[in-house]
A and B are shown apart, each in its own frame.
Chain A
Amino acid sequence: MNATLASETNWPVYGHDWVVQLLQRAIAPTGETGSAPARLGHAYLFTGPQQVGKTTLARAFAQALLCENSDRAPCGECRSCRLMAHGNHPDFRLIQPLNSDGEPDRENGLLRVEQAAGIIRDVSTSPMEGRYKVFLIQDFQRAHPHFANKLLKTLEEPPAQVVLALTASDRNSLLPTIVSRCQVFDLRPVDAAVVALALRQQWDVDAEQAELLARLASGRLGWAVEQQTLPDGLDQRTAELETLWRLVGANRIERMAFAASLASNRDNRRLFGMLALWTTWWRDVMLAQAGALDACSNVDCKSELQRQADALSDAEVRRYLETLNRIEGYLHHTVNTRLALDVLLLQMPSLTTHRV
């Protein structure tokens, strides 16, 4: 991770410059190199949409704190930075939601009360190699209330050498008593230009594709990176879009058949990927209807967007966007996949032309 970075901070992070700069100041030593920082906080909360870069940023923060050579940015070369890169730093803890078997599961797992007990015990002892012990607690929105409550005292008054970093989807999903003990950084979508730059610099994506991915990513660099690491990321998108267009023009029997095939072998990854794509698409249609086509994500499909925008009713498109959001929620939590998908498909705006 030593490529030239976009910001001047030299952190292995793209975007979020304002956060990086503020954190840098917080960890900067008061006096000469190696002296203690003046205003380092003991608990930080990073919130923001999925894959926007919360964990990357929190890790970089931990790496900078633990780095042996630098006061502001991780050098990337010292033993500490190397151990961080390999996930073996003895003074860095990653705490993730676990499923009932004790395996990490960010989607459906929970941060459990036993983990809180482990953290409380762990914070009380001194670091092994460095000056700090850094705890990164991921997906705090998945914390069991007992986990969160048990950690309140630790979050309020951890021992001096402990720094806690939390990530969560948004602050409103946490106990307010947790949030008020942390310095909160609400990460915002990364500018598309920065995403494109990152893709070109760091992941060798060609300019045109980088531009498209950046538009589609809605500011979530992690998503864009994931797409380009998948063997057929963009091809898959094309295929999904073609399916969507077919469904828009399909009659209800075909739609039900599609819902049935989706439900019969439910594949969460594909399902939610598809929902994300559909949401992006219908939002673009909505933008086109509102005369703001230039703001769209699917920049390579403007004519199709305009066609659908002209043919469909505004209200129907908007209603469907809300349906998409609602059904996505159901699919995350419950129950009858088939029914939810039926509703999803039935309510999709239709381009069938025949009239009664």
Chain B
Amino acid sequence: MRVSCLQENLAKGLSIVGRAVSSRSTLPVLGNILIEAKNNQLRLAATNLEIAINCWIGAKVEEEGAITVPARLLGEFVNSLPPEPIDLELSVRTQTLNLHCARYTATMKGIDASEFPIIVTTGADNDEAPALEGTVMELNAAGLRNMIDQVAFAASTDESRPTLTGVEVSFKKDRLSMAATDGFRLSVRSTHLGESNGPGEDMTVIAPARSLGELARISADADDDRPVQVIITPTRNQILFQIWGKRDDGRGNFHSVELVSQLIDARFPDYNAIIPKNYNTRTVVDKAEFLKAVRVAYLFARDNNNIIRLSVTPGEGDGPGQLQLMATSAEMGDAVNIIDALVEGEGMEIAFNAKYLIDVLSQIDQTQVVLETTQGTRPGAIRPLGMGEDEFLHVIMPMQPPR
């Protein structure tokens, strides 16, 4: 292998794949990054066996080849180099990688590339390997990022119920839905895929919430004009997202990134049973005001299992109704905050966990939100006003107010 590339591009690529390097693994090769020169591109790859990231950057390949070298050493070394071209050369006999940039030279001991786990790719940049077979669909990059942000936070962090640490991703007809729940709240987000972009068959998988979070991070650097390609392997054990880098040839860019995540092999809870089918009270409030009032009440709720009580009062005549938020701390006092509300239906009282309200309201971009409730002991639904009916729904279980 003999190849040269720009320091900034290599540094960028390494920072992206570095997120998937295992810090502590019993497999020596997982502490390494795979470097492969082919088709005038340099492929960097790392995996912690849950997530694998492939990143392609532009390069001038004089001789193709591949090697794995210690991730941390390579990353720190490349970051220290001046922004100039770097020459990389592999000595096949000794399995060492020689790096040369300006007046810096280094040699790193590697591990044979064939020891590295096989990471599936779309094969889009690879003439020789056949393109990955599986169910393919295309998504808008910014939209995907937004969906992940609005769903993944509701996943459980309790590892003893692994299924709930995942996000259910399902394709039905031409709709993509994501859902996550920790048993006390549920976030569901759905979008229209368009005629030609859907997978052509219905399917449901569970992806670790962490993997999707990583995807959202990487896609912040993506070219939002080019769609993200999503592939689910035929055995339904992996999901692959292909993201394109910005098209201008600026420095510090990548060509494309493919994130492959292992899937959680389980059945997701049937969350439709949790979604309220109707409501007795529909309360519309300004999102920013609501969020602020919850945050203030939370100051007093912290000592009391985060419980805040919401009291909805319909307006009299043509006047506006109101939403009252109350929190009590036995030791420190209490707070009552009132905001205006458009109330449809009867008045009611319900108690929620303040943290959960803050979590969901922080992820809503729209200026108004709707709270739908039936009674104080049944789940409440929150949705942004102005999005399609089925686009975004958040359900929160009420708390038992202390007697």
Contact = CB atoms under 8 A, between A and B. Distances in A.
B262 interface: yes
Contacts of A129: 117-118
Given A83-B115, A88-B27, A94-B26, A125 B160 contact: no
A126 B263 contact: yes
Given A90-B117, A120-B159, A120-B162, A125 B26 contact: no
B50 to A, nearest CB: 6
Interface string A116-156: 01001111111111000000000000000000001001000
Nearest to B265: A159
9 contacts: A83-B115, A88-B28, A117-B159, A121-B159, A125-B265, A127-B237, A128-B47, A129-B118, A153-B160
B264 interface: yes
A103 B27 CA distance: 14
A70 interface: no
A158 to B, nearest CB: 10
A139 to B, nearest CB: 14
A95 to B, nearest CB: 8
B265 A126 contact: yes
A93 B264 CA distance: 18
Interface string B177-220: 00000000000000000000000000000001000000000000
A69 interface: no
Interface in B260-288: 262-266
B313 interface: no
B108 interface: no
A318 B162 CA distance: 55
Given A121-B50, A127-B237, A161-B265, 17 more contacts: A79-B114, A86-B115, A87-B27, A90-B27, A117-B159, A124-B165, A124-B264, A125-B263, A126-B237, A126-B238, A126-B263, A126-B264, A128-B47, A128-B49, A129-B117, A129-B118, A159-B265
A31 interface: no
Name which of A86, A153, A160 has the most chain B CB atoms within 10 A of its CB.
Answer: A86
Contacts of B24: 102
Contacts of A117: 159
A122 B165 CA distance: 12
Contacts of A160: 265
A129 B52 CA distance: 12
A87 B117 CA distance: 12
A93 B265 contact: no
Contacts of A128: 47, 49, 52, 117-118, 262
B266 A90 contact: no
Interface residues of A, number: 29
Contacts of B262: 125-128
B49 A122 contact: yes
A127 B163 CA distance: 16
B154 interface: no
Interface residues of B, number: 31
Interface string A69-90: 0000000000100110011111
Contacts of B160: 120, 150, 153
B61 interface: no
Interface of B: 24, 26-30, 47, 49-50, 52, 111, 114-118, 159-160, 162-163, 165-166, 208, 235, 237-238, 262-266
A124 B29 CA distance: 22
Contacts of A127: 237, 262
A161 B28 CA distance: 24
Contacts of A124: 162-163, 165-166, 264-266
B29 A88 contact: yes
Nearest to B205: A126
Nearest to B263: A126
Nearest to B260: A128
A93 B117 contact: no
Nearest to B27: A88
Nearest to B238: A126
Name which of B115, B118, B263 has the most chain A CB atoms within 10 A of its CB.
Answer: B115
A125 B159 contact: no
Contacts of A123: 162
Contacts of A96: 26
A341 to B, nearest CB: 37
Contact of A93 (B26, B114, B263, B266): B26
A147 to B, nearest CB: 14
Interface string A154-185: 00000111000000000000000000000000
Contacts of B266: 124, 159
A124 B205 CA distance: 13
A86 B117 CA distance: 13
A161 B235 CA distance: 12
Contacts of B50: 121-122, 125
Contacts of A161: 265
A102 B26 CA distance: 12
Contacts of B49: 90, 122, 125, 128
Contacts of B159: 117, 120-121
Contacts of B264: 124-126
Give the 3 A-B residue pairs with the shortest CB-CB distance, closest first.
A124-B162, A126-B237, A125-B262
A88 B265 contact: no
A30 to B, nearest CB: 19
Nearest to B26: A94
